[in-house]
Amino acid sequence: MQKLLFVFVVTSCALAQAPTVPPPLLEITSESGTFSAPVKPYGAAKAAVDVVGMSSATGMPQTWAIELHNNFASIEDLDKAIAATAPPQYPHDSYAEPHDEFLMPPRTVIAIYEPDWSYRPDEAIRLLPKARYVSVAIHRIRVGLEGDFEQLVRLRKLANESVNLNRPELAYRVFSGAPVGIYLVIAPLANLRSLDDGVPDMPAFAAPVADARAKAEPKQAELEIGREHLLFRVEPRLSYVSDDFAALDEAFWRGK
């Protein structure tokens, strides 16, 4: 299975600014390998978006380009601006040679925000400009069983709330460009130390939630075709962010 490449792109009504609410849509371009520049010529196209580039910290080498849009019109406007700037460029390695023919070509998908599946989403999107790592879980669900999977997700959210887990997440459903039933759960991380704390013990008053989740977990194997967990580093060199976005940590975003 080709590793996805993501780069986060956040749009606003007029000029790009630091995100405060989760965007309704993501356009995600994925590539295998490592690169030293954004996958699209956002600067040349004068894109009114923030692009947060990421490279893989685990798994096969890959970079991610994800664009966060307010609507489909925004996706169309950016597509036209980039198409008018230059013809499609095929990735090259560090020696300016074309990539091996056996490597997968770039792939683009569009994903729709799922607020009910997200955990503290407002906190997650505000954390994005400060994130140094991003954890992504990719779920592929059997067609027709999304409702059952949603129930499991709701139980997981209740369990997280019961222990006040400080690890907000954004959930998106892939709408176009990939097999049906793929969901992305994206968690910005200020640092990896936040993972050292693990999950706190379940308080006594939350025992019913824990019991319900334990009973439902065996069914998850019947719902899921596959699941993958990936960890990425946020890369300023692969990013294209507005001054408002960068202002939250100018040394990181604007440093050499």
Which residue range(s) make up the domain with 203?
A: 7-254
Q: How confident is the model over 69-96, as a mean pLDDT?
A: 75
Q: What is the pLDDT of residue 217?
A: 54
Q: What is the rounded CA–CA span in Å between residue 31 and residue 91? A: 9
Model confidence at 9: pLDDT above 50: no
The answer to whether residue 1 sits within a structural domain is no
CA 138 to chain centre: 10
pLDDT of 93 > 50? The answer is: no
Q: With 70 as the cut, is the pLDDT of residue 100 above it?
A: no
Q: Which residue has the higher pLDDT, 102 or 196?
A: 196
The span from the CA of 37 to the CA of 60, in Å, is 19
pLDDT at 70 over 80: yes
Q: Which residue has the higher pLDDT, 214 or 113?
A: 113
Within a domain: 238: yes
pTM score, two decimals?
0.77
Distance of CA 158 to the CA centre of its chain: 22
Q: What's residue 33's pLDDT?
A: 80
Cβ count within 10 A of residue 200: 12
DSSP β-bridge partners for residue 182: 140
| pLDDT value at residue 31 | 86
Please choose, from the candidates 107, 106, 105, 112, the residue with its C-alpha nearest in 3D space to the C-alpha of residue 22.
Answer: 112
**Percent of the chain scoring above 90 in pLDDT:** 28
Judge whether 2 lies within some domain: no
Instruction: Answer yes or no: are the C-beta atoms of 175 and 128 closer than 8 Å.
Output: no
**Residue 105, token pair as written in the block:** 């070509």
Structural domain contains residue 77: yes
CATH of the domain at 68: 3.30.70.100
Residues 6+ apart with CB under 8 A from 123: 168
* Alpha helices (H) along 95-206: 121-127, 146-162
In the chain, how many domains are there?
A: 1
- CA-closest candidate to residue 207, choices 163, 167, 168: 163
- Residues 116-161 have pLDDT tens digits of 889 999 999 999 999 999 999 998 888 877 777 777 777 777 777 7
Region 90-100 average pLDDT: 46
What sign has the CA pseudo-torsion 72, 74, 77, 79?
A: negative
> Helix axis angle, 207-223 relative to 146-162, nearest 10°?
150
Tokens of 117: 């599946």
User: Given pLDDT bands bounded at 50, 70 and 90, which one contains residue 198?
Assistant: low
Q: Which of 32-41, 192-201, 202-211, 247-256 shows the lowest per-residue confidence on average (mean pLDDT)? A: 202-211
Work out the average pLDDT over 71-86.
89
Q: Which residue has the tokens 């640092």?
A: 191
- State pLDDT tens for residues 20-67: 899 999 988 888 887 777 878 888 888 888 888 899 999 889 898 878
Three-state DSSP at 205 gives helix
Helices and strands (H and E) in the chain: how many: 6, 9
Residue 11 clears pLDDT 70, i.e. is over it? no
Look at residue 39 and tell me if it is in a domain.
yes
pLDDT of res. 37? 78
pLDDT score for 221: 63
Q: In this structure, are residues 20 and 249 in contact, taking their beta carbons and an 8 Å threshold?
A: no
Rounded to whole angstroms, how far apart are CA atoms 9 and 28?
9
pLDDT band (50, 70, 90) for residue 212? very low
**Has residue 141 been placed in a domain?**
yes
Q: Kindly report the number of other CB atoms within 10 A of residue 199's CB atom.
A: 10
**Res. 74: pLDDT tops 60:** yes
CA-to-CA dists, residue 144 to 16, 149, 181, 224, angstroms: 38, 10, 9, 11
- Residue 10, pLDDT > 70, answer no
